[in-house]
Structure 1
Amino acid sequence: MLLLYIFAAVVFVNCAYLLLFSRFSFLQPKEIISSEEFPISLIICAKNEAENLKINIPIWQQQDYNDFEIILINDSSYDDTLEVLESFAKEDSRIKIVNVKNNEAFWGNKKYSLTLGIKAAKNKRMLFTDADCKPNSTLWMKKMVTQFSSKKQLILGFGTYQKKSGFLNKLIRYETLLTAIQYFSYAKSGMPYMGVGRNLAYTSNLYYENNGFMSHMKILSGDDDLFVNEVATSKNTALCFSKDSFTISKPKETWKEWSIQKKRHISTAKHYKDIHQFLLGLYFLSQILFWILAIVSLLMIDWKIPAIIIAFRFLLQWIIIGKSALKLDQKDLILLLPLWEIFLIFIQLSIFISNSTSKNTQWK
């Protein structure tokens, strides 16, 4: 019976997190109608992104917004990135180029390049994305920046990945979905802890009042999530998750590439605030223990009671995570949610172990 009690306690903790996630699952997008369009600076940092820029710059230019500039940062590229930027800048006066050369003190540090780009921006409100990201609609910019107000200075958006065939693509999109559910739910609960640079907006006031990236400048990753973790509060943070506001990125196409990317992301999380590390760690632990104890309980005691507990937990997962998946246009993942979960747990655990013996040196 002790095993059953322990298993029930773990499921209780796991379900408590699912109920936390329901804060986002059942949340409706907040549509704000404003007669005024404030000037916006769209800022993109690019390192060896010539081909993606040829595709995405015209899409950014076509945004349905009257007053915006595009700050394109060439971060010490060795391909044709600078030439591509210059060719577009000749045809569009809204484009401003920031050409960053290697700096010995900040070599390979995206935050240094972003800092120079932010300093070059003339507008108070800034919208960020990556060079390989395209907006889901021409209303992306409008949807994101209309969330700004006198109090809301930080806007968290959703950046998804292209849907392609294959197991890896679905796993990548599931991990992205789960991450978004978590940071949206925590923010809705008054505890914002991260955002993604693929779709993020904040004001220059917020940036300069918190000394930009200075507190974590030596950490190569985290220009998005570490900044949000440091400056976001329940009062200054807003959410934007209507489908028109999504950005879509190219996913990694090999397990090795994705593993390297996730190693960098997971290594950044250890620099979050202690409370966030604890809550995120407890959720991960409750997932691991659920699967271990579910198997052990089915084998060691009368299977009927553990089966009922497992079924309840899966039902709650399908309802809450499934509803979020529909909201974020990932409905093809719903049917096999337990499968994606168990594979992601295994991969994350292997990355945690791997990170303890290796270090990342550059953002790209």
Structure 2
Amino acid sequence: MLMGWGFYIFCAFGLTTAIQLFYYLFFFRRVAYYKSPEKPQSQQHPVSVIICARDEDENLARNLPGVLVQDYPTTHEVIVVNDNSFDDTKYILAELKKTFKGLQVIELAQEAKLIAGKKYPLSIGIKEAKHEVMVLTDADCVPASEHWLFKMQDAFTNGTEVALGYGAYKKAPGFLNKAIRFETFHTALQYFGYALAGKPYMGVGRNLAYRKGLFLRNKGFSSINHIPSGDDDLFINKVANKHNTTVVLDPDAFTLSAPKKTWREWRHQKARHYSTGKFYRTSHKFLLGLYTASQFILYPLFVASLLFFDWRFALIPFVVRLLVQGIIWNKSMKKLGEGDLFPLFLFWDLWQFFYYIIFASSLWKKPRKTW
């Protein structure tokens, strides 16, 4: 057995593995073994569904009917904010409104000055919402079932002000599709796991619900209006806590979106998403940063331990982590409808190292101010 610096490399590898196991056993295990709390009876709140759209005529024609035909007999409205579209969005909405009387359309004809992204149109939609419980999604999303609205609003028991849903991507052939879906799963594993552990830090605008009163009490997006993104994750990071936040992991409550078709488009999307991370609470940045760093250096330290220390000792923590990770990934992927990704489990584990390298530039590139 080699001692000296080889031993210290092995110790660093052991510590890194221990950090990873902590995250899997303390945070992510909660997603894998999550069971919806039993309720004596379900609730049906009056609900406002809010969708913002800019040049989304094809997506609205394809997806909006899925929102409008939800099996939800209680009072609800669907608000679409048409934000300065130049395509046929206006006409698509007018045609849908003839059939669906519950559809409310807000036409914006002027750009909001000094307010980046979709925060202004979303704020207008929230202001016009008639009901306290609001469910948010995007124009390129379609509910996975006709029970989506019921499942999302049913999460609002006494004290609940935020409900985090899963915004999945549609399955298609090719590696890019699987890579996008794996990244989406991995991100969800984190924000669901943190929320279940009492440390909610983000949600996704593709499938999110919160109370109008919560939005108004916190002065909406006023503190983040200068940031291009953040209407979903930064707002939730600001207002969510262990007492007012829940998750909805029922497959009927998922939404489905069409993923990007090129690596370039996906990189631009991730650059916009990652631009908000530096504005998270300090505790969240520390936890997310420690997890990412331990993940990134794990394989280099493992290889170095194999080469410069006793390979038999190096295999022990590596195999233990793989077993724990495999069990939790398998159960969580099935729960989130991504079970077809698990056969490539070992590849995805290694892929994360290269993923961080490929998308590292997204951390410092400035995203577009439009949406």
TM-score (norm 2): 0.94
Task: Note the 1:101-112 alignment, pairs <5 A.
Answer: 101-103=109-111, 105-106=113-114, 109-112=117-120
Please name the residue that 1:55 is paired with.
62
Q: Does 1:147 align with 2:155?
A: yes
TM-score (norm 1): 0.96
Q: Does 1:258 align with 2:266?
A: yes
Check conservation: 1:266, 1:352, Cα contact below 8 A. no
Check conservation: 1:177, 1:328, Cα contact below 8 A. yes
Pairwise CA distance, 1:298: 1.3
Residue of 7, 17, 23 corresponding to 2:13 = 7
Q: Does 1:41 align with 2:79?
A: no
Please name the residue that 1:190 is paired with.
198
Check conservation: 1:32, 1:147, Cα contact below 8 A. no
Task: Write out per-residue CA displacement over residues 233-265 of structure 1, whole angstroms, 9 at most, x where no aligned residue.
Answer: 111111111111111111011100001001111
2:9 maps to a residue whose letter is: L
Pairwise CA distance, 1:351: 2.7
Pairwise CA distance, 1:326: 1.0
Pairwise CA distance, 1:36: 4.5
Q: SS of the residue aligned with 2:210?
A: strand
Please name the residue that 1:269 is paired with.
277
Q: Does 1:221 align with 2:229?
A: yes
2:54 maps to a residue whose letter is: K
Taking structure 1 as reference, are residues 35 and 176 closer, same or farther at Cα in structure 2, changes over 3 Å only? closer
Q: SS of the residue aligned with 2:276?
A: helix
Distance 2:362 2:250 in 1: 37
Identity %: 42
Q: SS of the residue aligned with 2:130?
A: coil
Task: Write out per-residue CA displacement over residues 79-113 of structure 1, whole angstroms, 9 at most, x where no aligned residue.
Answer: 11111112112332211111123425146520011
Taking structure 1 as reference, are residues 3 and 212 closer, same or farther at Cα in structure 2, changes over 3 Å only? same
1:47 maps to a residue whose letter is: R
Please name the residue that 1:245 is paired with.
253
Distance 2:353 2:12 in 1: 20
2:29 maps to a residue whose letter is: S
Taking structure 1 as reference, are residues 62 and 104 closer, same or farther at Cα in structure 2, changes over 3 Å only? closer
Distance 1:200 1:107 in 2: 21
Bigger shift: residues 164-173 or 25-34: 25-34
Taking structure 1 as reference, are residues 184 and 35 closer, same or farther at Cα in structure 2, changes over 3 Å only? closer
Please name the residue that 1:278 is paired with.
286
1:64 maps to a residue whose letter is: D
Check conservation: 2:270, 2:362, Cα contact below 8 A. no
Residue of 19, 27, 36 corresponding to 2:34 = 27
Bigger shift: residues 12-21 or 92-101: 92-101
Distance 1:349 1:101 in 2: 42
Pairwise CA distance, 1:352: 3.0
Check conservation: 1:154, 1:237, Cα contact below 8 A. yes
Pairwise CA distance, 1:302: 2.2
Distance 2:336 2:362 in 1: 31
Distance 2:306 2:334 in 1: 32
Distance 1:45 1:327 in 2: 29
Please name the residue that 2:309 is paired with.
301
Distance 1:211 1:180 in 2: 27
Task: Write out per-residue CA displacement over residues 179-213 of structure 1, whole angstroms, 9 at most, x where no aligned residue.
Answer: 11111111111111001111100010000001111
Structure 1: any 5+ residue segments left out of the alignment? none
Check conservation: 1:25, 1:327, Cα contact below 8 A. yes
Deviating beyond 4 angstroms after TM superposition, the runs of 4 or more aligned structure 1 residues are none
Q: SS of the residue aligned with 1:160?
A: strand
Q: Does 1:95 align with 2:103?
A: yes
Residue of 340, 361, 368 corresponding to 1:361 = 368
Distance 2:179 2:38 in 1: 31
Please name the residue that 1:312 is paired with.
320
C-alpha RMSD over aligned residues: 1.5
Distance 1:30 1:220 in 2: 36
Structure 2: any 5+ residue segments left out of the alignment? 1-6
